[in-house]
């Protein structure tokens, strides 16, 4: 009988529990995020888009130009996608902020940068881009056939682009490249025409920023041609941080013939040529270093 009493008491307790009203889950109050000032919303977008959760995300990819050295570590793709899917307005604001704060390359170079070139970007995002970069010097003996300025490049869609950064890896008109280049003026003419075509398709462009590796001379044939095309297009010339060039440099002191004087020796030019070229040609070109005369 004692066992039956205990069972009855247990069943009564269960019935009492079942009869108790269920507690409703707490209701979350809505936060009017879109009513915040735009400056604060942009800070939130920046935090979500550019806050990595893994140390591996801090490792840089690429090593050439501003697009590699100033690239921001990205948050995980799941975080970025989740932000873009909140609502249409947040998607438009966040994607515009993301693309407007990045520097995209016009053409690819072989330094394993993960950021896509402008040709690979969806057309709907091109109107948000404000800064692009042209890197010249790679494949100086035979530029890729894909390096052409046409409608597929999408420059006509980039109405907000204000800054074009030009980074020069090497100048093949330097005497050390004799025997490897097609001709002394081939690459200079190629880059000059390329820059001219790009400038013609960017009517809203204001500034062209130049920078280079150590062996590139500011008064050398390649830089002189690029500067001439920029000034002919009436764009303001800026100088990047790597070489430390500035408008205070008096160009009247650099009137000597190109490559008549060398601030750096021939080995520096050969080294920059090696760094600019694909790995499969490095071995062949490196053999030329045996004939380079090192001046003290």
Considering the domain boundaries, does residue 63 fall inside one?
no
Q: Are 207 and 238 in contact (CB under 8 A)?
A: yes
Token output for 165:
């950064």
Q: Is the pLDDT of residue 160 over 90?
A: yes
Q: Is residue 94 part of a domain?
A: no
Report yes or no on 65 lying in a domain.
no
pLDDT band at 96 (very low <50, low <70, confident <90, very high): very high
Please state, as a whole number, how many other Cβ atoms lie within 10 Å of the Cβ of residue 273.
29
In a domain, 68, yes or no: no
Phi, psi of 238 (to 5 degrees): -120, 165
Q: 230: domain range?
A: 102-291
Say how many C-beta atoms besides its own lie within 10 A of residue 90's C-beta: 17
Let me know if residue 252 belongs to a domain.
yes
Tell me the C-alpha distance between 222 and 132, whole Å: 20
Q: Is the pLDDT of residue 79 over 50?
A: yes
Lowest mean pLDDT among 30-39, 193-202, 261-270: 261-270
Q: Are 46 and 97 in contact (CB under 8 A)?
A: yes
H-helix or E-strand spanning residue 39 = helix 38-49
Q: Which H/E stretch holds residue 281?
A: helix 279-286
| Residue 37 within a domain | no
Q: Kindly give, in sequence order, each residue whose CB lies less than 8 Å from that of residue 94, ignoring residues fewer than 6 positions away.
A: 45, 48, 49, 83, 84
DSSP state of 88: H
Are 113 and 147 within 8 A, CB to CB?
Answer: no
Q: How confident is the model at residue 54 (pLDDT cuts 50, 70, 90)?
A: confident
Instruction: Return the closest-CA partner of residue 103 out of 144, 69, 63.
Output: 69
Euclidean distance between CA atoms 63 and 135, whole angstroms: 12
| The pLDDT of residue 294 | 47
**Total tally of structural domains belonging to the chain:** 1
Q: Let me know if residue 1 belongs to a domain.
A: no
Interatomic CA distance for residues 16 and 253, integer angstroms: 98
* Sign of the torsion formed by the C-alpha atoms of 276, 282, 288 and 294: positive
Q: What is the side-by-side strand order in the sheet with 103-105?
A: 103-105, 131-136, 163-168, 207-212, 236-239
Q: Which residues pair with 104 in a beta bridge?
A: 132
Query: Helices (H) and strands (E) in the chain — how many of each?
Result: 10, 5
Share of the chain above pLDDT 90, in %: 47
| Structure confidence at residue 235 as a pLDDT band (50, 70, 90) | very high
Q: How many CB atoms lie within 10 A of CB 149?
A: 18
Asked, for residue 56, whether it belongs to a domain, the answer is no
Distance from the first to the final alpha carbon of the chain: 111
The answer to whether residues 126 and 154 touch, using CB atoms and an 8 Å cutoff, is: yes
d(CA 209, CA 170) in angstroms, rounded, equals 16
């Amino acid at each position: 009988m004692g066992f039956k009493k205990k069972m009855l008491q247990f069943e009564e307790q269960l019935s009492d529990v079942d009869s108790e009203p269920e507690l409703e889950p707490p209701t979350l109050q809505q936060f009017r995020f879109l009513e915040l000032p735009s400056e604060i919303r942009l800070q939130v977008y920046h935090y979500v888009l550019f806050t990595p959760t893994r140390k591996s995300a801090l490792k840089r990819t690429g090593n050439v130009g501003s697009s590699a050295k100033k690239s921001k570590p990205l948050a995980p793709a799941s975080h970025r996608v989740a932000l873009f899917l909140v609502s249409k307005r947040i998607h438009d604001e966040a994607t515009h902020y993301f693309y407007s704060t990045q520097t995209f390359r016009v053409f690819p170079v072989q330094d394993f940068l993960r950021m896509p070139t402008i040709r690979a970007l969806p057309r709907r995002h091109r109107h948000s881009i404000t800064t692009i970069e042209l890197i010249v010097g790679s494949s100086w003996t035979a530029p890729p056939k894909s390096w052409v300025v046409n409608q597929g490049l999408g420059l006509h869609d980039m109405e907000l682009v204000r800054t074009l950064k030009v980074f020069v890896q090497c100048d093949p008109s330097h005497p050390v490249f004799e025997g490897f280049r097609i001709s002394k003026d081939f690459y200079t003419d190629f880059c000059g025409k390329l820059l001219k075509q790009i400038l013609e398709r960017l009517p809203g462009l204001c500034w062209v920023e130049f920078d280079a590796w150590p062996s590139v001379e500011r008064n050398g044939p390649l830089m002189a041609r690029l500067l001439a095309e920029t000034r002919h297009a009436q764009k303001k010339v800026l100088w990047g941080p790597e070489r430390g060039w500035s408008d205070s440099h008096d160009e009247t002191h650099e009137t000597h013939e190109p490559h008549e004087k060398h601030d750096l020796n021939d080995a520096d030019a050969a080294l920059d040529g090696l760094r600019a070229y694909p790995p499969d040609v490095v071995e062949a070109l490196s053999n030329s270093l045996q004939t380079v005369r090192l001046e003290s």
